[in-house]
């Protein structure tokens, strides 16, 4: 385990050190609910997560949407409204700053837009995006995927381009992730540095991405839990939350 005292003031020193580096690294970062939790977005699988309070199969499946579309829309409209009330945190912002000096790709399991709002320009959303809607007949129809204002609720009767009911552009249980997962695999395979932040690594196929990192790649896992028994092979564990651990991570990358 890497033991470096956490200090937000280290950010300036890291930035100065990066300015002297000539070689750009290919850095791929897989993020999960833990990074957004520190901005105020509820998680799903923690002890107090949303799936402890709600029935996931009713609110995050095609079958649930067919049985009670209003309940599903109400659930996602509330999540969309919550997204308007939160802001990117220090971890989001530092990952965006890293992009100015290295070739950085964010692969996220999160459906919020906090990485983009922080300034990251290369973000692969594995599970969809709350700020978009699509067809309820064909979620991946490019003609039906569009941005939808977060302050405007999706209502019954709102139609997609193909005439079907609009639905959130979210990957529900049992649905294919789409081409994003293949793109993510390629990015991980070619990474010089692979970082995992804020994910329990229990949600597949996203969790399986750790298996595609090259054996010579430098690998980090930022997670506050004691996970030595399930730490992926070759990973350095920074046992901190995303916001606490990001500067430690940046310090380690600056040494390369």
Catalytic residue numbers read: 127
Euclidean distance between CA atoms 242 and 223, whole angstroms: 7
In the block, which residue shows the tokens 């070759």? 234
Contact 161, 136 (CB under 8 A): no
From residue 127, give the alpha-carbon distance in Å to each of 3, 44, 56, 86, 204: 33, 13, 15, 20, 11
Tell me which long-range contacts 137-145 makes (C-beta under 8 A, separation of at least 24): 137/162, 137/164, 138/162, 138/164, 139/167, 139/169, 139/171, 139/175, 140/176, 140/178, 145/169
CB-based contact 111:76 (threshold 8 Å): no
| DSSP three-state, residue 53 | coil
What letter would DSSP give residue 237?
E
Whose tokens are 């005439």? That residue is 163
CA 15, CA 13: separation in Å to the nearest integer? 5
């Amino acid at each position: 385990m890497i033991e470096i005292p956490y200090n937000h003031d280290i950010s300036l020193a890291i930035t100065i050190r990066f300015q002297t580096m000539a070689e750009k690294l290919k850095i791929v970062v897989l993020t999960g609910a833990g990074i957004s939790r520190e901005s105020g977005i509820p998680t799903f699988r923690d002890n107090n997560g949303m799936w402890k309070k709600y029935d996931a199969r009713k609110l995050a499946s095609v079958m649930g949407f067919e049985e009670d579309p209003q309940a599903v829309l109400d659930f996602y409209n509330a999540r969309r409204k919550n997204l308007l009330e939160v802001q990117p945190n220090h971890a989001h912002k530092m990952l965006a700053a890293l992009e100015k000096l290295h070739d950085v790709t964010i692969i996220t399991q999160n459906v919020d837009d906090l990485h983009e709002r922080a300034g990251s320009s290369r973000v692969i959303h594995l599970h969809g995006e709350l700020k978009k809607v699509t067809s309820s007949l064909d979620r991946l129809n490019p003609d039906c995927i569009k941005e939808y204002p977060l302050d405007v609720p999706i209502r019954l009767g709102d139609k997609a381009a193909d005439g079907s009911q609009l639905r959130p552009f979210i990957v529900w249980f049992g649905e294919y992730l789409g081409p994003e997962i293949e793109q993510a695999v390629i990015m991980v395979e070619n990474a010089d540095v692979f970082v995992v932040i804020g994910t329990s690594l229990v949600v597949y196929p996203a969790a399986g991405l750790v298996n595609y990192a090259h054996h010579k790649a430098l690998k980090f896992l930022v997670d506050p839990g004691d996970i030595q028994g399930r730490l992926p092979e070759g990973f350095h564990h920074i046992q901190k939350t995303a916001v606490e651990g990001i500067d430690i991570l940046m310090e380690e990358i600056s040494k390369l």
